[in-house]
Structure 1
Amino acid sequence: MEDRLFSPVGASCSRIEGWEKVSGTARFTDDIAVPGAWFGDVVRAPVCRGRLREIRFDPAFDWSRVTVVTARTLPGPNVVHMIRDDHPIVAAEEIRFLGEPVVLLAAPDRAILAAAMAAVHLDVEELPALLSLDEAQERLALSREHVLASYAFSGGDTASALAGSDLVVEGVYRTGHQEHMYLEPQGMIAFPGENGGVEVTGSLQCPYYVHGALTKALALPPERVVVRQAVTGGAFGGKEDYPSVLAVQAALLALASGKPVRMIFDRRTDIRVTTKRHPSLIFHRTGVRKDGTLLGAEIDIYLDGGAYVTLSPVVLSRCMLHACGAYRVPAATVRGWALETNTPPNGAFRGFGAPQSLFAMERQMDRIAAELGMSPLEIRRKNALRTKDTLPFGQVLEEEAGASLVLEKAVALSGYEALKAAPKFCRDERGRCVWRGVGLSLFLHGGGFTGSGEERIAGRVRLTADEEANVEIFVSSTEMGQGASTVLCQIVAQALALPLGKVRHVPPETGLVPDSGPTVASRTVFVVGRVLVDACRTMLRRLEAAAKEWFDTAGRKVYSKDGYFFAGEERLGDMATLLSRYVRESGGPLTAEATYTPPEGFFWDEATFSGDAYKSYSWGADVACVDVDATTLEIRPRKVTTVLEIGRAVNPVLAAGQAEGGTLQALGYAYLEDMGYGGGRFRNDRMATCLIPTAVDAPEFAVRFEELPTRHGPFGAKGLGELPMDGGAPALLAALEDALGVFCDEIPLSPAKLLEKLAARKKRNCAKESEGDGA
């Protein structure tokens, strides 16, 4: 028999769930037929802040036809369990944002439901509202009343570093809301179960988060609550927090009515009330030498958390820990606050705070370069992090740092220096007069939960094998379009030396799969994949022990290699054969479990916010080429070169898709995705007006992966999903600066805002000319 070496890791295998999606046979939440299901909806607050004086139910309506839930009729506490239990299921007395739930309704058909919604009248006393991050930041100096979370850390003597600098450069940077705009809006179907229990099926990315929220809100034991993930059409973090809100609402209506209840948002409702990326206001003071060496930094970060905490503390912490970017800063003080406003709560979004602070740091580096008369490339080369450097919060980069590697590869691959020297005013391929520029960014992203987060989660996995040597993966990690079902199977197939077709990812359902942690923080491959490898090793050890009993090994060492088991040099059989025999002789499936084990040598102090923040870092560099229409100021990204160091690309094609998709999402964040926010509401609340990049807007992409394998990930792999979100926005604004000669420090940068920048520059130039004439 010939040797069979299975190497799925590193191969561009087809997506396991791909055919269902392209053929239209995949059933998303709204596709699931539930005979007899009722429809649920929410009566929402009409003001940004107010006192709920009374809920009036029109006596002319027949209320016996519907189910009504208010704060007074809840079976458990009025709270959606998240990091902090401050988020009510429905408003009881105080209203804190426009669109906050007040009354839950369910009816047997949509017509009755619509009539019931119209028959509910809210008597609300409107109160003054806090609607902007700027105002919240100004109030902070007077009171800490509106602080949702705050942290600070310092490394080195920042005051002395700034005092001893040749130049101190200051900058203020702003980022706005960003809508997830997943393909499928939020949706849940709740089923009343036996003995007062409940089952919920829906579009979500963290089954056990939803499970925890349901058990608390419904005052039910865990075993009487079941959460299933339906096929999920995208998430980007937006289905980490909000599904808990919607699941609790649907479950309450199902239990109260005794009927299954569907709650599926239309796009307009989804945009209006679900969480968004936190807007940010970031102040930088950076001390440098004349040669461009960074000496010290003082950074103050303010995030708009909205009306409730949701995930703001962990978004803020990651935002702060990435605030100095991929650069050596010998002394730094970073302070951060997540502030409360009377706007819809903000939550998780791809990058989880890092895109905001990395945007500010990259723009600050460009500002420093301009002040010193240096090129953006030169100042990055001088200050890029190296192996053994110490980060401001005390972590030493023990593994090889990839900052210089990705920077130089991106510069060479894109021809950055030639593009930088090229004429700025030209005609594009359509014959239009354009201003053309090029910009770059350098960035990093920590994989997994911050600090000791993975230790607290202690994620668990389980594998089972049947008589046909088919292996099933039981984890709470979800497939939501990013390819988890494929890459996790590739990892297990590699570890067990089985064909990929022999491995299956079981759709997550609480009670059926162990809690391996949420599908967030670039941890699915990096953390869960590593725990799965540990479970595979347990399975192999059991087969090795069984082989000793089955064969005459005469004291020889039994081991597995390349899909076969050996006793010394003698081959005993292949993996599939021994696996099948084990299951047959034991009379049941072979099961192996594993729990996350923290690597040695890592330490994190939550009290001082210092230590080893992440087990490994991924690195990236972007070079963006941009055209600006000389007549309309339309911004058009032409080409983006992105080089990412991710340890090991488990599936290069899927990884490239993540790189391109994340980078396009970052470009949209930079110049296109203006939510039209004002007065506590999002004016652009439909896909016709809430614009995101489409295929027409996508630039040409050139993606390259570099590999510096980490010992902490499966087969050397690191986190990838969030990394591409970090570099596109600052690279695009740097390219606009190169094209037009104006420095932009705020996103999203619409043509209108760009026109304001150009007008301000013209006014300054005219003033300088007037001064010169006067002299």
Structure 2
Amino acid sequence: MTFQTIGKSLRRKEGFLKVTGHSVYADDLRLENCLYGKTIRSTVPHAKIKEIRFKDGIPWDEFTIVLPSDIPGLNAVTLIDAEQPFLAEREIRHVAEPVALIAHRDKHLVEKARHFVHVDVEELPAVLTMEEALERNNVFKSYLVQNGDPSEKWNEADVIVEETYRTGAQEHLYIEPQAMIANTIPGESVTVWGSMQCPYYVQKALAPLFDLSHENVRVVQTETGGGFGGKEEYPNMIAGHAALLSWKAGRPVKMIYDRREDMWATTKRHPSKIRVKAAFKRDGTLVALDIDILLDGGAYPTLSAVVLSRATLHAWGPYKCGHTRVRSRVVMTNSVPYGAFRGFGAPQAIFAIEMHMNRAALELGIDPVEIRRKNFLHQGDQMPTGQVIREKIDLEMMMDRALELSGYHRKRADFEQFNAQSRPHRKGIGLSVFFHGSGFTGSGELRLASELSMALTGQGGVEVFAANVEYGQGTNTVLTQIAAEACRIDPDLVMIHQPDTSAVPNSGPTVASRTTMVVGKLVERAALELRKRLKEPTDFEASARQYLAEHGELRITVQYEPSSDLHWDDEKYRGEAYAGYAWSCDVAEVEVDAVEYMARVTNFVSVVECGRVINPLLAAGQIEGGIAQGIGFALYENVVLEQGAMKNNQFTNYIIPTTADTPDIHVNFVEFPHSNPGPYQAKGIGEMPIDGPAPAIGSAVAHALGGRFINELPLLPERIMDVVESL
């Protein structure tokens, strides 16, 4: 099949405006008589609030001050639940919890003033570890997925491997901090502009806060400088704060976090503790798998239930096993709440299962490649949820391509010979194979019932109306290419309306690797329906202009339609968890300095199957960026917690990979026979590339260290030192 735009590396739709400095971010907006807002936060992890005192030295009569008693509606952030308050009223549950808001026309004075607000408290005992929370049964959510009983197979196994794996928190470090501007008409309406991934999430949170109808709350996404999940649910909080100050002041209010506040107070990746027990035959056949997942949710649930869900549903990896049990729990501690982060629970679970397969291969005395080849899923096999693999997947081919491109077998032998010479530097190579489900889990997309509109324009093109946002990942370009292909017009004739709840329908959040596969399919359907209304023209532009001249506006709205062969039982947690899966194999090479105890990645190969690639350059960029972020997760990014909050909340002591730390990354796309529901059989890839680097790197470090595995991320020098000194 020949395509006009699909498969072509078109330039970014918004690229020119960004590189010329014309893109408008939240802090670029200037509203007349605007005040600057600040949040007063707790400095203790658990306490009763006795009094909030505003000390002398500040002209408080010039300030707008908001306390919980000033909230006109529901003092709760409406998300999955409504448990987290916008402002703590009686009880503080974590450090950095908001307790009051202040605003002034002088942003320097408002920064000074926050140091003159004192919160008198009666401190209470705090729970700061997952283990203590579990002992107290502080469980937010739990799941159980099981097919067969693993305990029936332990006696039949030749080898049983049992280990526990830990991962720490990870900071998003989007380049633009949290930012929001609010302008309200007290008693009537609220409008906010800001940096976000999900405009309709913000609307859902603000309507009950002000006791308004959704129609009276307008949310507009400004240009957004990165998100990685950190701007999925947290913008609800800062938008609420800015709007509350505006509501009381009767003036616009701007709130822009500085980097320290952003890193200290906002959500992170959930820390995890995962126990894996697996039974194998001597030839490497996996016969039983028992996995226990524990996540730290922090002080409030936020999105922990769905993060736990995805961790649970990715825990068994791309392997067939007739006796699998996955039990998972996320617990409440008095830490700053954890939330959405690229991968959404999958990186933690995939680290555990892939490290475990490599460890099992070592104990069985077989190559890590062969233990995977022995157990890969194939078309017709069932996952533990009962989902049958309908795609004609070929994981062996995908893995072999990665092995060939990386020179895996030759380098593995060469590195072992090199390491035998007791040099101060040691080399290793490791791999991981994994999948990532596209879209919301199970019936999630059905409940969302996403809608998207498309209209003819006077230029003879189309305009797409969707709530999905561009924040650096290429949404606008990919949706443009899909619309242009379906309409058979030049991409320059496709416009993407800025996400604005007063103008675009709710096409769902920009999360969960769903934009290309789910929303892109809506774009394709809307475009094909427009063509149908125009009677399948050979010249779309001319027909569109003629239709507008004769009939006026033509706007089509389409709604998500689930495939008839997808069924999911939320009660039993069984069925088709995802409509489509992307698959990948990563191979990492590392060098370990046995003197400085530092590991660095020297080469990285990633082979990816994500259906038909809409824009190869953008797709490769997504993979490369995810790998760089995964390298940080594996080696460098250590969130140091003090009383449950991030202590090293600045760039100088929270280390992320720089260009010098990022190796050559080789991305190669392969395609399985197409059988997924995406537009032109495309799948999502936004999250998948962060899933595989950590176990590939961890296994490469273990190879360099003579088969000594480190089960905790990040692989810090002190953890490597403990192993090196035992050699």
Aligned to 1:602: 566
* Shift of residue 740, structure 1, vs aligned partner: 1.3
* Shift of residue 202, structure 1, vs aligned partner: 0.4
Aligned to 2:546: 581
**Structure 2 residue matching 1:317: 3-state secondary structure:** helix
**Structure 2 residue matching 1:437: 3-state secondary structure:** strand
What CA deviation, in whole Å up to 9, does each residue of 1:255-286 have, x standing for no partner?
10011101000000000010000000001111
What CA deviation, in whole Å up to 9, does each residue of 1:394-431 have, x standing for no partner?
1000112242232111011111001110134759xxxx
CA distance 1:164–1:678, change in 2 (3 Å): farther
Aligned to 1:241: 233
Aligned to 1:109: 106
What is the TM-score of this pair, normalised by structure 2?
0.97
Matched, 1:25 2:22: yes
Q: Distance in 2 between matches of 1:574 and 1:201?
A: 39
Matched, 1:716 2:681: yes
Which segment is superposed worse, 401-410 or 217-226?
401-410
**Structure 1 residue matching 2:563: 3-state secondary structure:** coil
What CA deviation, in whole Å up to 9, does each residue of 1:240-259 have, x standing for no partner?
01000000010000110011
* Shift of residue 678, structure 1, vs aligned partner: 3.6
CA distance 1:268–1:60, change in 2 (3 Å): closer
Matched, 1:361 2:353: yes
Aligned to 1:516: 507
* Shift of residue 194, structure 1, vs aligned partner: 7.4
Matched, 1:447 2:448: no
CA distance 1:479–1:582, change in 2 (3 Å): same
Q: Distance in 2 between matches of 1:753 and 1:683?
A: 20
Matched, 1:540 2:531: yes
Aligned residues of 1:192 and 1:199 also touching (Cα < 8 A): yes
Aligned residues of 1:425 and 1:434 also touching (Cα < 8 A): no
Query: For 2:426, which of 418, 427, 435 is the aligned residue?
Result: 435
* Superposition map of 1:307-386 within 5 A: 307-386=299-378
Aligned to 2:148: 156
Aligned residues of 2:36 and 2:110 also touching (Cα < 8 A): yes
Aligned residues of 1:620 and 1:644 also touching (Cα < 8 A): yes
Q: Distance in 1 between matches of 2:114 and 2:174?
A: 27
Query: For 1:662, which of 626, 638, 643 is the aligned residue?
Result: 626
* Shift of residue 758, structure 1, vs aligned partner: 2.7
Matched, 1:496 2:487: yes
Amino acid at match of 1:471: V
Q: Distance in 2 between matches of 1:112 and 1:695?
A: 38
Q: Distance in 1 between matches of 2:627 and 2:394?
A: 19
**Structure 1 residue matching 2:545: 3-state secondary structure:** helix
Matched, 1:746 2:697: no
Amino acid at match of 1:510: T
Matched, 1:701 2:701: no
* Shift of residue 489, structure 1, vs aligned partner: 0.4
Aligned residues of 1:467 and 1:581 also touching (Cα < 8 A): no
Aligned residues of 2:579 and 2:676 also touching (Cα < 8 A): no
* Shift of residue 133, structure 1, vs aligned partner: 1.9
Aligned residues of 1:309 and 1:345 also touching (Cα < 8 A): yes
Query: For 2:61, which of 55, 58, 64 is the aligned residue?
Result: 64
Amino acid at match of 1:733: G
Q: Distance in 2 between matches of 1:606 and 1:161?
A: 28
* Shift of residue 743, structure 1, vs aligned partner: 0.7
Aligned to 1:569: none
What CA deviation, in whole Å up to 9, does each residue of 1:509-564 have, x standing for no partner?
002000000000000000000111111121111111xxxxxxxxxxxxxxx3xxxx
Amino acid at match of 2:595: T
Q: Distance in 1 between matches of 2:58 and 2:690?
A: 50
Aligned residues of 2:439 and 2:518 also touching (Cα < 8 A): yes
CA distance 1:630–1:425, change in 2 (3 Å): farther
Identical amino acids, percent of aligned pairs: 44
Aligned to 1:649: 613
**Structure 2 residue matching 1:423: 3-state secondary structure:** helix
Aligned to 2:600: 636
What CA deviation, in whole Å up to 9, does each residue of 1:212-238 have, x standing for no partner?
000011111111111000000000000
Aligned to 1:414: 406
CA distance 1:512–1:247, change in 2 (3 Å): same
Aligned to 2:40: 43
Aligned residues of 2:140 and 2:305 also touching (Cα < 8 A): yes
Aligned to 1:690: 654
* Shift of residue 592, structure 1, vs aligned partner: 1.1
Amino acid at match of 1:179: E
What is the TM-score of this pair, normalised by structure 1?
0.91
* Shift of residue 157, structure 1, vs aligned partner: 2.7
CA distance 1:490–1:194, change in 2 (3 Å): farther
What CA deviation, in whole Å up to 9, does each residue of 1:457-497 have, x standing for no partner?
01000001123212110000100000000000000100111
Q: Distance in 1 between matches of 2:533 and 2:525?
A: 13
Q: Distance in 1 between matches of 2:116 and 2:642?
A: 29
Aligned residues of 2:291 and 2:327 also touching (Cα < 8 A): yes
* Shift of residue 195, structure 1, vs aligned partner: 5.7
CA distance 1:677–1:61, change in 2 (3 Å): closer
Q: Distance in 2 between matches of 1:59 and 1:267?
A: 28
Which segment is superposed worse, 234-243 or 739-748?
739-748
Aligned residues of 1:403 and 1:443 also touching (Cα < 8 A): no
**Structure 1 residue matching 2:436: 3-state secondary structure:** strand
Q: Distance in 2 between matches of 1:111 and 1:722?
A: 39
Q: Distance in 2 between matches of 1:679 and 1:67?
A: 31
Aligned to 1:218: 210
Q: Distance in 2 between matches of 1:442 and 1:580?
A: 50
Amino acid at match of 2:17: E
Query: For 2:577, which of 609, 613, 626 is the aligned residue?
Result: 613
Query: For 1:173, which of 165, 176, 192 is the aligned residue?
Result: 165
* Superposition map of 1:57-136 within 5 A: 57-58=54-55, 61-136=58-133
* Shift of residue 136, structure 1, vs aligned partner: 2.3
What CA deviation, in whole Å up to 9, does each residue of 1:576-615 have, x standing for no partner?
11111111110x2221110000011111001011110000
CA distance 1:425–1:692, change in 2 (3 Å): farther
Q: Distance in 2 between matches of 1:16 and 1:59?
A: 52
Unmatched runs of 5 consecutive residues or more in structure 1:
545-559, 566-572, 763-775
**Structure 1 residue matching 2:84: 3-state secondary structure:** coil
Which segment is superposed worse, 396-405 or 602-611?
396-405
Runs of 4+ in structure 1 off by over 6 angstroms are none
Q: Distance in 2 between matches of 1:539 and 1:161?
A: 57
Q: Distance in 1 between matches of 2:217 and 2:456?
A: 27
Q: Distance in 1 between matches of 2:34 and 2:624?
A: 40
**Structure 2 residue matching 1:178: 3-state secondary structure:** coil
Q: Distance in 2 between matches of 1:161 and 1:495?
A: 52
Aligned residues of 1:91 and 1:101 also touching (Cα < 8 A): yes
Root-mean-square deviation over aligned CA pairs: 1.5
> Larger Cα Rg: Structure 1 or Structure 2?
1
What CA deviation, in whole Å up to 9, does each residue of 1:696-734 have, x standing for no partner?
111101110011233400001011111101100000011
Q: Distance in 2 between matches of 1:580 and 1:28?
A: 34
* Shift of residue 330, structure 1, vs aligned partner: 1.2
Aligned residues of 1:538 and 1:593 also touching (Cα < 8 A): no
Aligned to 2:458: 467
Which segment is superposed worse, 535-544 or 261-270?
535-544
Matched pairs, number: 721
Aligned residues of 2:186 and 2:247 also touching (Cα < 8 A): no
Aligned to 1:548: none
Which segment is superposed worse, 672-681 or 515-524?
672-681
